Structures are given as structure tokens and as C-alpha cells.
């Protein structure tokens, strides 16, 4: 672990919304090539953390380093250009465009040529096995298709770090397994992954490391095997049933 | 594949438009000119309102600025409107960029953007209506020039030169739109329209691209103002500026299809004849009933027709075709 390169370093991030404190000084380290998961009850501050990393919220305190460079307070588009991709918990497809065009918008992050963006988009679509979906108008896509599209679109920006916000939510168990395979494939292709997830089966199969957040604080960080045995995590999030695993 | 399909159709359409003045004169040519003019204005508006989805109800301002700049420069300094129209366009673009910058910098979106552009339209109309130098509510008449040099001053005694000018302007703008639509800019504007936050996460600097669209849109639409001034030889603030005319600009793109290349022109070619026909029918009715109490009925007919179109074709005519095509492909 120690020899791995630090990709994302989050240093004492605090975020207040008026009187409400969403993050109370969170530290997080994501190393190159790993899959790291953030879990925790609703309202714990997971999505706020993603919004702070991707520049939608400016942190009240603390700093964020990406590849050693300070990216705190940069606008979302600059952060995307520096190599952090992101999907949204509630998918946001461009319904006025075809799925292929959706992916091409992502690909245009690294080129000005529409022709090249087309090639790149087709490669990503093939890589994820979505060839059959590109002809369906975006508004007619199922939830699973939309999640895949969201993934393809951010992957087309050529990120070195991908933040996935509940990509499994709303999928049935078979679809979850497909998604797990896709995420593993993306990691094997050299993209580091940080995910927020509630589907424990996915978290436990995929993650190299798990972070548990509660009330804006990190209460656990470690391997996926020991997280299910940690008494505090069981108390605030998992509940008794997981302690038998 | 798609373009191969379109080329013969566009060629035929182009030839029809080129020979039209041979067969149409007077009234019919007037209708063609007005339809092309509204199609041109709608296509300019479409750059920011259609492709980028930032609905502006203030574009009359830029039309007015174009008309007033070229007209004032001509009547006071004798500068030919052929040059004056570019100065008007630069002024309009500067104002458009200023308001655009304020809105986009402070993340004014949707209905709030619409309200600010409406306020802008009214501010400019009221200012122009109360300053004598701009002719106030009386308006400005252009000095008439006769003789062979008139053309150099953008004045023609007949209608057909105006027809070809507005035809060339529309064709040129459609070319610009088409190039833009198929470039990175077009993709980014559509993405901003689809979902601005998602677009930014994909590296789209939304405010920069919206400003670009706003600048181009206000620049080109100002040429339409100069055209109107030269064609009518008379301008007045409430004819070109203010909310009323700004809404009229937006109608053609809404009917034809916002964010489509040919939608605004198509919309204008439906709206203008529709307005004429409803006026004709009202006149006929008035004569057969021997009454004078039907003033404004043509506007009601026109309004009802508009409501029906919006109710049954919320994406415009081209939008409807696109949806049918999508269903067919599936």
C-alpha cells in the first residue's frame, strides 16, 4: 500500500451550510489504482463530500490535492479537465441528445475535433458493451441504461479518478452484478475509483478499502473484511444482520 | 448519409427561393420578405435560446440597437448603413455580452434569465422613447436618397433587392448555425441545455459557451434591425424593441422547433401567412356582416391557432418529426 502513488488527498475538509455542519473535518486518501468506497447513513455528508471534490461547493476549510496539485475551489469544469470524472446519484442524461452524442460531449473534454470525439465515444461504448443502446433516444432509456450512459459519458472524459455516486441504486440484483463487472473493468483499465454506495454486496466485492462516514465525520477506514465486524459501524449503519457475515 | 438526403431538397428549395421574385410581386413578395426577416431573427435568437436553451425575451433590444445605430450614423454623419450595420452589430454584441456576463457569472438561469432579459428590453425601449435624439415616441424617418448611388446607401426603390438581401442574410446565418451545430460548440451548447451541472462535470465551461452564443446571437440579430430600417425607412422604439416585439421574435422558433437548424425559418413561413389569412378572413366576415365591431379578431384567431400548435406540438414542427422518426427507428 505504502508504495502506491497518492492520487487524491483530502485534508481536513469542513463544510457548513449556514448553521448546519455537513462535514466536520474529513481526511481521505485515495491511492492510484484502487477502488475505495464511502458508506454511511443518509445525510452523513457523502454526496456533499463529492460536491466539494468536484467544485460544486467550496469547502469552508481544508484543502484538496489531486496529483499533488491544490484544486480547492476550482470550478467543476476545470476539475473535470484536470482528470476527475463524476456521475450523479440522480442520473442527468442530456435528453435533447442521442446517447452517442451524450458520450461525445464527454469525449470533447480532451479534443476539439468532433470526428475524434466520435471515435473516442465509440471506443468507450464498445469497451462498456453498450453498442445496442446508442440508437435508442435518451428519453426512452431504462434506469439501467441511463446509469450505464452516465458511466460511459464520464469515462469518455478520460479521467484518472472516477467518482461514482450510488450507481447501483435502483438496479435489480442481476443488474448490480453487471455494474460490478463494469466497474472492475474500468479499474483494470487504469482508472482509480471512489464510490458512494449503499449496496453492501457491491461494496464488499469491489472495494480495496472502505470508509464509513457518520454525521460529517469519518468513523472507520480499512479493509472490507473488517468493516462488517466493527461495532461502531454496525451500530450506526449496518445493523445486526451483517455482524454474522 | 443524412446530408446526402438533404442536398437535393435544399438545392430545390434554393432554386425556388431564387426564382420567386419572377412570379411574385407586390403583396406576395412583401409576405416573403417579412417571413424571411422573421425567420432570420428567429434563427439568430435560436443560437442562444434554442441550442443553448437560455430563453431570452429581450432580443428586440439588439434589433433596435442595430436599426438605431445605422440610422443615426447615416442621418447625422452620412455613413452608409452598409458600414453602420456592423457598428450596430458590435454595439448590440457588447450590450448582449454585458447582460449575459452578469447573468451567467451569477448563475441566473431559467425563468430568472428570462425576467432579466425582459427587464433589459423594457429599459431600452423606455429610454429610447423618452430621448429626443432617438426620435422619442415619434420615431425616426430615414433621409431618402434617389438616383444611382442609392444602392450604396442601402436604399432601393423596388422590393426585389431587399428580398435578395434578406435571403442572403438568412442563408448565411443558416450556414453559420449549421457549422456551429456540428462543431464542439454545438455539442456543448446542447449539453448545457440538457443539464448544466452534468455538462460542467464533463468539462464544459458553461458560462463561457453561453457567453459565446449570446455574443453571436446579439451580433447577428442586429443586422436584422438595419435591414428593417432600410426597408421601411422608418423606425420607432415600440416597433423593434420592448417585450412585445421580443416575444414576436421567439414565436417562430417555438412553432418551428427550438434548437433545430431550419425550425425558426419554417415557423416564420407558417406564422406570417397565418397572420395574413386570419386578417383576410376577418375582413371578409366584417364585410358580409356589415359591421365595424370586429377589430382585433384576427389577433384572436392567430392566438387560438398558436395555442393549438403549442398544445399539440410542444417541441415544434421539426421536433414532432424527430420524435416520429425516433419511434419509427425503434
Q: Closest Cα of chain A to B50: distance in Å?
A: 11
Rounded Cα–Cα distance for residues B327 and B317 (Å): 16
CB–CB contact A105 B182 (8 Å): no
- What are the pLDDT tens digits along chain B (330 aa)? 355 677 888 888 888 988 888 888 788 999 999 999 999 999 999 999 999 999 999 999 999 999 999 999 999 999 999 999 999 999 999 999 999 999 998 888 889 999 999 999 999 999 999 999 998 889 999 999 888 888 889 999 889 999 999 999 999 999 999 999 999 999 999 999 999 999 999 999 999 999 999 999 999 999 999 999 999 999 999 999 989 999 999 999 998 999 999 999 999 999 898 888 888 888 888 788 777 666 777 778 778 877 887 788 878 888 888 777 777 665
Rounded Cα–Cα distance for residues A221 and B107 (Å): 37
* Residue A168 within a domain: yes
CB–CB contact B201 A86 (8 Å): yes
Mutate to test the interface with B, among A94, A95, A146, A156 (most CBs of B within 10 A): A94
Rounded Cα–Cα distance for residues B151 and A88 (Å): 59
Are the C-beta atoms of residues B58 and B249 closer than 8 Å to each other?
Answer: no
Q: How many CB atoms lie within 10 A of CB B152?
A: 11
Those residues whose C-beta lies under 8 Å from the C-beta of residue A22, and which sit 6 or more positions away, are A15, A16, A45, A48, A216
CB–CB contact A92 B195 (8 Å): yes
B-chain residues near A102 (CB < 8 A): 194
B-chain residues near A135 (CB < 8 A): 329-330
Residue B193, chain A, CB below 8 Å: the answer is yes
The number of C-alpha atoms within 13 Å of A211 and in the hemisphere containing its C-beta is: 21
Q: Closest Cα of chain B to A108: distance in Å?
A: 7
Say if residue A169's pLDDT is above 80.
Answer: yes
What 3-state DSSP class applies to B123?
A: helix
Summarised one tens digit per residue, pLDDT across range A126-155 is: 999 988 888 888 888 889 999 999 999 999
Q: Closest Cα of chain A to B189: distance in Å?
A: 10
B140: its cell numbers: 425616426
Rounded Cα–Cα distance for residues B78 and B87 (Å): 14
Q: What is the mean pLDDT of residues A25-31?
A: 92
Are the C-beta atoms of residues A106 and A121 closer than 8 Å to each other?
Answer: yes
**Residue spans of alpha helices (H) in chain B:** 2-23, 26-46, 60-77, 81-105, 110-130, 160-181, 184-194, 196-201, 206-232, 237-240, 242-256, 263-289, 297-312, 316-329
* Residue A213 within a domain: no
Q: Predicted confidence band at A227 (pLDDT cuts at 50, 70, 90)?
A: confident
Residue A77, chain B, CB below 8 Å: the answer is yes
B-chain residues near A92 (CB < 8 A): 194-195, 197-198
Residues in a beta bridge with A17? A20
B215: its cell numbers: 455574443
* Residue A7 within a domain: no
Residue A232, chain B, CB below 8 Å: the answer is no
Mutate to test the interface with B, among A95, A99, A108, A115 (most CBs of B within 10 A): A108
ipTM greater than 0.85 = yes
Are the C-beta atoms of residues B95 and B65 closer than 8 Å to each other?
Answer: yes
Rounded Cα–Cα distance for residues B294 and A224 (Å): 80
Q: How many CB atoms lie within 10 A of CB B11?
A: 10
* Residue A11 within a domain: no
Mutate to test the interface with B, among A81, A87, A90, A96 (most CBs of B within 10 A): A96
Closest partner residue to B202 (CB to CB) among A96, A105, A114 is A105
* Residue A128 within a domain: yes
Question: What is the reported pLDDT for A2?
Answer: 47
Question: What is the reported pLDDT for A153?
Answer: 95
CA distances to B10, B27, B168, B170 from B17, in Å: 10, 16, 10, 12
CB–CB contact A76 B201 (8 Å): yes
CB–CB contact B187 A117 (8 Å): yes
For residue A200, the enclosing domain spans 34-46+74-207+223-244
Q: Predicted confidence band at A241 (pLDDT cuts at 50, 70, 90)?
A: low
Residue B191, chain A, CB below 8 Å: the answer is yes
* Residue A169 within a domain: yes
> What CATH number does residue A143 fall under?
3.40.50.300
Closest partner residue to B203 (CB to CB) among A80, A96, A102 is A80
A192: phi then psi, degrees, rounded to nearest 5: -75, 145
How confident is the prediction for chain A on average, in pLDDT?
90
Q: What is the DSSP string of B84-122?
A: HHHHHHHHHHHHHHHHHHHHHHTT--HHHHHHHHHHHHH
Say if residue A46's pLDDT is above 80.
Answer: yes
Residue B330, chain A, CB below 8 Å: the answer is yes
Q: What is the DSSP string of chain A?
A: -TTSPEEEEEEEEEEEETTEEEEEEEEEEEETT-EEEEE--TTSSHHHHHHHHTTSS--SEEEEEETTEE-TT--HHHHHHHTEEE--SS----TTS-HHHHHHHHHTTS-S-HHHHHHHHHHHHHHHT-GGGTTS-GGG--HHHHHHHHHHHHHTT--SEEEEESTTTT--HHHHHHHHHHHHHHHHTT-EEEEE---HHHHHHH-SEEEEEETTEEEEEE-HHHHTT-HHHIIIII-GGGGG-
* Residue A193 within a domain: yes
Question: What is the reported pLDDT for B4?
Answer: 62
What 3-state DSSP class applies to B283?
A: helix
The dihedral sign for the CA sequence A224, A226, A231, A234: positive
CB–CB contact B191 A94 (8 Å): yes
Question: What is the reported pLDDT for B310?
Answer: 77
* Residue A216 within a domain: no
Q: Closest Cα of chain B to A90: distance in Å?
A: 11
Closest partner residue to B202 (CB to CB) among A95, A137, A154 is A154
Closest partner residue to B191 (CB to CB) among A86, A88, A105 is A105
Residue A99, chain B, CB below 8 Å: the answer is no
A-chain residues near B184 (CB < 8 A): 108, 112-114, 117
B326: its cell numbers: 425516433
Question: What is the reported pLDDT for A242?
Answer: 60
Total structural domains within chain A: 1
Question: What is the reported pLDDT for B329?
Answer: 60
Question: What is the reported pLDDT for A112?
Answer: 93
B94: its cell numbers: 457588447
CB–CB contact B188 A105 (8 Å): yes
- Between A215 and B301, residue with greater pLDDT: A215
A52: phi then psi, degrees, rounded to nearest 5: -70, -40
**Domains observed in chain B:** 2-329 (1.10.3470)
The predicted model scores a pTM of: 0.90
CB–CB contact A97 B190 (8 Å): yes
Residue A140, chain B, CB below 8 Å: the answer is yes
Amino acid at each position: 500500500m505504502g508504495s502506491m502513488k497518492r492520487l487524491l488527498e483530502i485534508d481536513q475538509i469542513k463544510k457548513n451550510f449556514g448553521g448546519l455542519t455537513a462535514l466536520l473535518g474529513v481526511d481521505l486518501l485515495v491511492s492510484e489504482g484502487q477502488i475505495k468506497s464511502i458508506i454511511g447513513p443518509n445525510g452523513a455528508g457523502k454526496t456533499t463530500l463529492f460536491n466539494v471534490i468536484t467544485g460544486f461547493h467550496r469547502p469552508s476549510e481544508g484543502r484538496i490535492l489531486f496529483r499533488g496539485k491544490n484544486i480547492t475551489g476550482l470550478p467543476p469544469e476545470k476539475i473535470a479537465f484536470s482528470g476527475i470524472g463524476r456521475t450523479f446519484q440522480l442520473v442527468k442524461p442530456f435528453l435533447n441528445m442521442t446517447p452517442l452524442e451524450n458520450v461525445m460531449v464527454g469525449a470533447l473534454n480532451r479534443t476539439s475535433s468532433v470526428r475524434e470525439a466520435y471515435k473516442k465515444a465509440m471506443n468507450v461504448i464498445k469497451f462498456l458493451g453498450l453498442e445496442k443502446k446508442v440508437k435508442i433516444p435518451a428519453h426512452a432509456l431504462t434506469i439501467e441504461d441511463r446509469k450505464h450512459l452516465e458511466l460511459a459519458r464520464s469515462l469518455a472524459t478520460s479521467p484518472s479518478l472516477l467518482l461514482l455516486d450510488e450507481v447501483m441504486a435502483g438496479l435489480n440484483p442481476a443488474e448490480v452484478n453487471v455494474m460490478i463487472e463494469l466497474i472492475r473493468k474500468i479499474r483494470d483499465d487504469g482508472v482509480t475509483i471512489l464510490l458512494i454506495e449503499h449496496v453492501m454486496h457491491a461494496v464488499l466485492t469491489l472495494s480495496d478499502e472502505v470508509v464509513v462516514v457518520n454525521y460529517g465525520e469519518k468513523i472507520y477506514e480499512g479493509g472490507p473484511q473488517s468493516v462488517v465486524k466493527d461495532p461502531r459501524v454496525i451500530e450506526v449503519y449496518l445493523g445486526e444482520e451483517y455482524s454474522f457475515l | 448519409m443524412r446530408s446526402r438526403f438533404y442536398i437535393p431538397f435544399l438545392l430545390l428549395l434554393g432554386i425556388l427561393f431564387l426564382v420567386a421574385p419572377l412570379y411574385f410581386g407586390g403583396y406576395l413578395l412583401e409576405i416573403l420578405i417579412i417571413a424571411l426577416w422573421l425567420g432570420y431573427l428567429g434563427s439568430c435568437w435560436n443560437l442562444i435560446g434554442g441550442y443553448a436553451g437560455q430563453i431570452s425575451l429581450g432580443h428586440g433590444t439588439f434589433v433596435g440597437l442595430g436599426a438605431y445605430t445605422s440610422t443615426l450614423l447615416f442621418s447625422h454623419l452620412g455613413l452608409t448603413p452598409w458600414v453602420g450595420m456592423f457598428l450596430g452589430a458590435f454595439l448590440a454584441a457588447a450590450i448582449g455580452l454585458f447582460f449575459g456576463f452578469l447573468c451567467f457569472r451569477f448563475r441566473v438561469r431559467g425563468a430568472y434569465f428570462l425576467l432579466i432579459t425582459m427587464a433589459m428590453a423594457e429599459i431600452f425601449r423606455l429610454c429610447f422613447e423618452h430621448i429626443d435624439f432617438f426620435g422619442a415616441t415619434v420615431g425616426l424617418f430615414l433621409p431618402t436618397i434617389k438616383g444611382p448611388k442609392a444602392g450604396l446607401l442601402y436604399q432601393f426603390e423596388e422590393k426585389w433587392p431587399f428580398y435578395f438581401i434578406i435571403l442572403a442574410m438568412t442563408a448565411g446565418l443558416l450556414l453559420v448555425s449549421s457549422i456551429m451545430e456540428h462543431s464542439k460548440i454545438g455539442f456543448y451548447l446542447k449539453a448545457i441545455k440538457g443539464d448544466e451541472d452534468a455538462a460542467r462535470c464533463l468539462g464544459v465551461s458553461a458560462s463561457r459557451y453561453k457567453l459565446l452564443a449570446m455574443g453571436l446571437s446579439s451580433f447577428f440579430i442586429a443586422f436584422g434591425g438595419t435591414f428593417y430600417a432600410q426597408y421601411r425607412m422608418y423606425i420607432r422604439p415600440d416597433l423593434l424593441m420592448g417585450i412585445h416585439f421580443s416575444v414576436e421574435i421567439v414565436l417562430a422558433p417555438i412553432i418551428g422547433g427550438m434548437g433545430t437548424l431550419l425550425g425558426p425559418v419554417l415557423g416564420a413561413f407558417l406564422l406570417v401567412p397565418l397572420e395574413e389569412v386570419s386578417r383576410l378572413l376577418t375582413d371578409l366576415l366584417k364585410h358580409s356582416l356589415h359591421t365595424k365591431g370586429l377589430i382585433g379578431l384576427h389577433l384572436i384567431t392567430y392566438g387560438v391557432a398558436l395555442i393549438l400548435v403549442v398544445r399539440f406540438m410542444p417541441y415544434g414542427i421539426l421536433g414532432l418529426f424527430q420524435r416520429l422518426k425516433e419511434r419509427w427507428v425503434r
